[in-house]
Amino acid sequence: MADVIVEHGRVAGSASARKRASLHNALRRKSTVAFFLTLPLILLIALLVLYPALFSIHLATLNKSMQKFVGFGNFTFLFKRETFWMVVKQSCIFAITAVVFKALIGFIVAHFVHNIPAKGQRKWRGMLLVPWVIPPAMSTLAWLWLFDPSYSAFNYTLSLFGIGPVNWLGDAAWARFSVILVNVWYGAPFFMIMYLAALKSVPEQLYEAAAIDGANWWQRIWYVTLPMMRNIIAITTLFSLIVTFANFDIVRILTSGGPLDRTQIFATYAFRVGIESSDIPLGASVSLFMVPILAVAAIFILRDVSKRGNES
């Protein structure tokens, strides 16, 4: 930091000393070059991320026709609606359950892939990552068809075992289950890849030492693998929590929030209210409720990232 200040001072000093320095020289100066190199990035973030974010706060304080300032009117309106509290509850259930299962399945699958001979790992890894590669909107259509009420391939398979038809997307409990299932299917491979990379970075000597000390497989995982992977697990989980919490595609295509808003989460509810019912201020207020949870996750991730930055 001190270094930067000194350098900054020197540049400023030399600039005042040589007032007739040509434009060419100015353009060669490090800070000028750096400024121009980062300018497009700064403009993009300022105009298309920061400004809309602030604008959204402004919008949330207007009435439906956007003529009048209503302060917290939209928020108090939402607080009084049962649907809104249902959305809050469902978003939390959806995000937490999905992330826990994604992390668990990802961890288990990563272990199995790590277990098999290195020769075959590439092939398995390549196969198991496919759900993450397919655009979620496309793969959710396949799930929608698998869940189809009259031609459901799942129900066909279940009927072979004598299990009655399941109303996958029509029944509230099953619809919630299906939405989470598809999200887990889509996200678990990402965890798998991250954990696999982390598993590979655990030094083999630690396992040898643990084996000499007589640790069984469970103790090896608990005392060697998990502590070594703690950072990656934390950062992947937090990141996934943000993405899952803000998920839109899967719920929208699978159920559009139905039946009776029983699978509605923040993003789909904001879309329903803000775009489909064209009450933009109310929609903006709904999506603003994501901010606190996202902010908490972001702070933890940031702490982790900067810690890692200091270590390296």
Residue type present at position 191: F
31 is an interface residue for another protein by CB under 8 A: yes
Q: Do the Cβ atoms of 183 and 98 come closer than 8 Å?
A: yes
Segment 88-127, which members bind another protein (CB under 8 A)?
A: 105, 108-109, 112-113, 115-116, 122, 124-127
* 235 binding another protein? (CB under 8 A): yes
Considering only 6, 15, 21, 34, the residue that binds another protein (CB under 8 A) is: 34
The reply on whether position 220 binds another protein by CB under 8 A is no
> What is the end-to-end Cα distance of the chain in Å, rounded?
17
Q: Among 96, 146, 158, 221, which residue sits at the site for another protein (rule: CB under 8 A)? A: 146
Spatial separation of the C-alpha atoms in residues 296 and 301, rounded to whole Å: 9
Select from 6, 291, 296, 303 the one that contacts another protein (CB under 8 A): 291
Q: Does 296 bind another protein (CB under 8 A)?
A: no
The window from 69-77, 81-89, 161-169, 295-303 that contacts another protein (CB under 8 A) reads 295-303
Contact with another protein (CB under 8 A) among 88, 172, 221, 253: 253
Which of residues 74, 178, 225, 247 is near another protein by CB under 8 A? Answer: 247
Angle between helices 226-245 and 82-115 (to 10 degrees): 140
> Which of the ranges 14-22, 71-79, 168-176, 294-302 carries the binding residues for another protein, by CB under 8 A?
294-302
CA quadruple 135, 249, 267, 239: dihedral sign: negative
Given phi > 0 = left and psi -120 to 50 = alpha, else beta, which region is 66? left
If residue 47 lies in a helix (H) or strand (E), which one and from where to where?
A: none
Residue 305 touches another protein, criterion: CB under 8 A:
yes
Sequence-ordered list of residues with C-beta below 8 angstroms from that of 109, at least 6 positions apart, any chain? 128, 188, 189, 192
User: Looking at 70, 77, 131, 166, which residue binds another protein (CB under 8 A)?
Assistant: 131
